[in-house]
Structure 1
Amino acid sequence: MVVNQDITELKQVEEALRQSQHFIQQIADTTPNLLYIYDQIKECNIYANRRTEEFFCLRQAQIQAKGKQFILDVLHPEDLPIFATMKEHYATAKDGEVIESEIRFKNAQGEWRWLHLWEVVFSRNAEGLAEQILGTAIDITERKQLEAELAASEERFRTSIENMLDCFSIYSAIRDEAGQIVDFSFEYVNAAACQNNNLTKEEQLEQGLCELLPAYREAGLFDDYCQVVERGQPLVKESFIYEDNSHGKPFRRAFDIRAVKLGDGLAIAWRDITKRKQAEEALLEERNFISAIL
């Protein structure tokens, strides 16, 4: 007896599967990201897309053949603890949970490149433990270099500002619901400003400018600072006389002040010239006295 079976439907399913696999492979090979699958049990990469092969200048079969040695060859020695932490996260990761990390790998040219990784559990074993990890990565070396340069620049700036003799501070505008500036918050004050104000950095950062120094409104400085922020015009004040109370004791000082707009706030540098003004006034009085008796 001969049985004829229609396999048309089976062929159609196989063709649809083949086309789907081809479509997925095209996406994997054209993405600019590195794409890989890491097998925790075998401790090796079992899949690498074209971008990953280009990055390491190794074919997928070569990467897989290296086994666990591949990671040891390309992973930066200082980042081994990061890799160990990543593996710990795999053990507790839930389905769909994305694990992110930044780590250095050696590329085909022997350069250490920073990669940002996004990884998820791709498959689990019979016990429900993470077995294969699907990951994608982008090269962020340039961003890391810029961050390092920025950090170095900020450190140089902070060191210079902290050690300068002039007072320096950065304020941000505090606005009401109508958008009007009602006060300024301290964002930064250097050591000279703390000494000049006879206040610690913490005391200044915790309060508003006019809350801490209400005489700024009476002296007109608050309005001047508002104009700097709203109009963007720098402020220059020479020999400005400021009167206030410090710990219940009145004082009168003279300052040279410079202020410029910085975002929705301003940066201010000022110099206490009280002693110089006192010397100038004493000299003027002496000259007037001499002129009067001659």
Structure 2
Amino acid sequence: MTEIKVAVSHPATAVENLGSLAVSKSEDSFRLVLEASPDGFIILRNVRDATGEIIDFCIEYANPVAARGVNRTAAELLGQHLLQLFPTFRTNGVFERYVTVAQTGRSETFETFYDSQGKRI
């Protein structure tokens, strides 16, 4: 089983609030750490409808370990909508938990299982 950590963006903690130089330097360092991490890591951006309701999440980053964990490359995941890749997340409670994190900014820890092309992750 592959463990994948997921970060869901929250407006109150948006990177835009940092100075542009600090963002550039810290972003490069952060990316290097994530690329070398032995753990899978995915960053999601919420997708909202016209009323402001979160209707999906878009994958903004996936490190190589996370991508391998779902039998894809990082490039294949980038820009994809979560519910298109993992439709059962809507019915198994994962999507609802991600929405809660995005809305409250409070982290949650939980485990779930997903069968990806015959490989349970």
Q: TM-score, normalised by structure 2?
A: 0.74
Alignment of 1:212-231 (within 5 A): 212-231=85-104
Distance in 2 separating the partners of 1:153 and 1:245? 33
- Partner of 1:202, secondary structure, is helix
| Structure 2: runs of 5+ lacking an equivalent | 1-19
Query: What do the CA deviations read for 1:151-178 (whole angstroms, capped 9, x no partner)?
Result: 3322221111110011111111111111
Q: Which residue of structure 2 lines up, in the alignment, with residue 181 of structure 1?
A: 54
Distance in 2 separating the partners of 1:215 and 1:207? 15
Query: What do the CA deviations read for 1:123-168 (whole angstroms, capped 9, x no partner)?
Result: xxxxxxxxxxxxxxxxxxxxxxx72x54332222111111001111
Is contact 2:60-2:79 (8 Å) kept?
A: no
Larger strand proportion, structure 1 or 2?
Answer: 1
Q: Which residue of structure 2 lines up, in the alignment, with residue 242 of structure 1?
A: 113
Residue 177 to residue 151, structure 1, CA distance change in 2 (3 Å) = closer
| Structure 1: runs of 5+ lacking an equivalent | 1-145, 254-294
Query: What do the CA deviations read for 1:4-50 (whole angstroms, capped 9, x no partner)?
Result: xxxxxxxxxxxxxxxxxxxxxxxxxxxxxxxxxxxxxxxxxxxxxxx
Amino acid at match of 2:120: R
Percent of aligned pairs with the same amino acid: 33
Distance in 1 separating the partners of 2:102 and 2:33? 25
Q: TM-score, normalised by structure 1?
A: 0.33
- 1:203 deviates by 1.6
Q: Which residue of structure 2 lines up, in the alignment, with residue 119 of structure 1?
A: none
Q: Which residue of structure 2 lines up, in the alignment, with residue 252 of structure 1?
A: 120
Higher RCO (C-alpha 8 Å, min separation 6): 2
Alignment of 1:105-144 (within 5 A): none
- 1:200 deviates by 1.5
Distance in 1 separating the partners of 2:112 and 2:24? 38
RMSD of Structure 2 on Structure 1 (CA): 1.8
Alignment of 1:23-172 (within 5 A): 147=21, 149-172=22-45
Distance in 1 separating the partners of 2:23 and 2:79? 27
Q: Number of aligned residue pairs: give it.
A: 102
Residue 202 to residue 241, structure 1, CA distance change in 2 (3 Å) = same
Residue 228 to residue 168, structure 1, CA distance change in 2 (3 Å) = same
Residue 150 to residue 232, structure 1, CA distance change in 2 (3 Å) = closer
